[in-house]
Amino acid sequence: MARKNTYDRLNRLDLLASRLKADDLMTIGMLAAELGVSRRTLSRDIAILRDRGLPIEADAGRGGGIRLHRTWGIGRLKLNYQEALELLFSIAIAEKLEAPWVFMNSASIRRKLAASFSSTLRDRINGLRGRIHVAGTTSPQILSSFSAPQPESMVVIFQAFLEMHMLKMTYTDADGNCRARNIEPHHLLLCAPVWYLYAWDNEKAAIRCFRCDRIQNASLEDAAFPERPYHLFKSAIISMGGDTI
C-alpha cells in the first residue's frame, strides 16, 4: 500500500507541475478538485514542488490564485552553438556602436555566454570586440551588386573567425571570376548591410579583403592559426571607414 501511495503521489506531482506550467488561471480549490485531493494534501504537494525549485506563487485567501512566477523558465533557456555565436556577434556589434539601448546588460550577457564555452574560447570571446569593426552605411554602388550572404556560409565564417581556424571557401570577385581560397579570417567589418572579411591569404602571402556575400561553400579546416598583429590590417580597415581598436 505504501508503494502505491508513493507512486500515486509522484504521478500527482508530475500532473500538478504540468498544470502549473500550462499558465492557466487556477485556484487551490480548482486544482484540489481536479486532482481529487484535499486542500491540505495539495498544499503539501505544492511545498514539495517548491523544495524542488519550482517558483510557485499563491495569492492570499481561500479563493486566491496559484501560478508559476513569470520568469520561471528563464534559467532553463538553452541555445545551440550557432545561436550562441550569432548572439555573441550581435553583442559585439552593439558594443562597438555604443548602443546601450540594444543590449543594456551586454557585458553580463557576454560573460554568461562565455561561461558555456571552453576556457580557450573564453579568451577569444573577450577579445572579439577588438576584431569586429563597424563603418557607416555602404555606398549605392556597392548596394547595387549586393545580395544577402548565404546563411550557412556566415555561420561557418563566424565559427572560423572565433575559433581562429583556417577557412576554405569559393570566392567570386567583382569581375565574376570564381576560385577556391584558403585563408586566415582575422578581422570583420560591418558596413551595413555588407560584411567584409579581412584575412591573410596563404597563397598570396598577403592581406586580402573579401565581401561575405560573395563567399560560397565555406568550410572549417582543422588547422588553427595564430593571431597576426592588427597593424597589418589597420590601414585597409580605416580606408573603409572602420573604427580603430
| Residue 170, in any domain of the structure | yes
With both helix axes pointing from N to C terminus, report the angle between 119-126 and 151-163 in degrees, rounded to the nearest 10: 100
The burial class, CB within 10 Å (0-12 / 13-18 / 19+), for 215 is buried
Residue 104 lies in a domain: yes
* Residue 8 belongs to some domain of the structure: yes
- The reply to whether 170 and 92 lie within a common domain is yes
171 and 234 together in one domain: yes
Whether 87 and 178 share a structural domain: yes
pLDDT recorded at residue 104: 74
Quote helix, strand, coil % in the chain, to nearest 5: 45, 25, 30
- In angstroms, the Cα distances linking 180 to 11, 81, 175 are 60, 27, 15
Residue-number span of the structural domain to which 163 is assigned: 81-239
pLDDT in tens, 132-174: 999 988 889 999 999 999 899 999 999 999 999 999 999 999 9
Predicted TM-score of the model (pTM):
0.69
| pLDDT of the residue at 212 | 97
153 within domain boundaries: yes
Give pLDDT tens digits along the chain (245 positions): 455 566 678 888 888 887 877 767 788 888 888 888 998 898 888 888 888 777 888 776 555 678 776 656 655 667 788 888 888 998 888 888 876 566 677 788 888 888 878 877 888 888 888 899 999 888 899 999 999 998 999 999 999 999 999 999 999 999 999 999 999 999 999 999 999 999 999 888 999 999 999 999 999 999 999 999 999 999 999 988 877 54
For residue 22, what is the domain's CATH number? 1.10.10.10
187 and 101 in one domain?
Answer: yes
pLDDT for 185 equals 98
Q: How many domains are there within the chain?
A: 2
**Does one domain contain both 52 and 107?**
no
What are the grid coordinates assigned to 222, written together? 582543422
